[in-house]
Amino acid sequence: MKKILSIILAVALLAVGAFALTACNDDNDKIVMYTEAGFAPYEFVGADGAIKGVDVAIMSEVAERMGRTLEIKDVAFDFITQYVAESDGYAVGAAGMTISDERKQSVDFSNVYASSTLVIISAEDVAYDSVADLAGKKVGVQQGTSGDEIISYASDAANGGYTYKDGENDVTVTAAGATVQKYQTYALAYVELVNGRIDAILMDKLPAQSLIATQGGDQLVIKDAADLLQEDFGIALKKDAPAELVDTINNVINEWLANGNIAAYTDYFTAVDNYEKNGGEAPVAPEGLKLSWNV
């Protein structure tokens, strides 16, 4: 009996050991990048089916420098912070994510690598150019984005609208009676706008330009939301993420801001997205701009 028990125990221990080893191996050699790949030029699905863009370039460089593989997971945008917060620390959110106080409660952010202006896409003849203009309108947003947060608060004027700090001053914007339509992807919102089922979309400028350039939209215009401030993008990290990961990300960002690579990748991937969807002349990357990584 004793013998059988010890055999069972030995087998069980072996199994646990083998499991721990695999789990460990997995953890030790990869970085998981959570994103939502409908946000060109930061991330989009290329003609070859692979996800590419500025965020992918940054994280590929980071993974290569750390000798890890990069696993990209395309998920619903509003789950990204939670997935990062619950990860083992080697997972990041690289998704054109706006650094915000609310998100900072659950995740940390890298240095800023890009700034963005929120814009409103609407029909040419109305051309809304402020959140205030959206009062009483049907407004499409990607669920869980800054645009969603802003218009959701602004539409609730009875509860104080949307307030932000501009330097020392509190600024409040309201769009009383706006209806917020939340979509999983911007492409879905865009179809609804083209078909006249919503009046406007509130989103980041470059991805808005990419939508218009690649999905058609002759009667649509893009206007800066004049009553909002610029937003800053950062890579989301688990709080207390491994220092090597944080440092490598910030080093890549600092170097690539200084040498112009961030701007070069932004232009290049804008052109690639446009070319892959509309044809024309294939874009040529500036000399020396790295486009493949050993990850």
Chain residues in the site for ligand ARG (CB under 6 A): 35-36, 38-39, 43, 77, 95-98, 116, 142, 145-146, 204
CB of 103 to ligand ARG, least distance (A): 8
Closest CA to 185 of 209, 206, 203, 197: 203
Cis amide bond preceding 41, omega within 30? yes
Nearer to ligand ARG, 1 or 111 (CB): 111
Specify the residue for token string 């863009």: 53
The token pair at 56 is 């992918």
Nearer to ligand ARG, 146 or 174 (CB): 146
Diameter over CA atoms, the chain: 86
Strand ranges (DSSP E) for the chain? 30-35, 38-39, 43-45, 51-52, 69-74, 91-93, 107-109, 114-116, 118-123, 138-142, 162-166, 169-173, 179-183, 200-204, 220-224, 231-233, 236-238
Closest CA to 137 of 117, 154, 158: 154
CB of 118 to ligand ARG, least distance (A): 8
Nearer to ligand ARG, 51 or 135 (CB): 51
Nearer to ligand ARG, 185 or 247 (CB): 185
Angle at CA 154, nearest 5°, toward 199 and 210?
Answer: 45
CB of 1 to ligand ARG, least distance (A): 60
Q: Which residues touch 143 (CB under 8 Å, ≥6 apart)?
A: 76, 77, 78, 182, 183, 184
> CA-CA distances (angstroms) from residue 81 to 149, 181, 261?
15, 21, 26
Nearer to ligand ARG, 100 or 219 (CB): 100
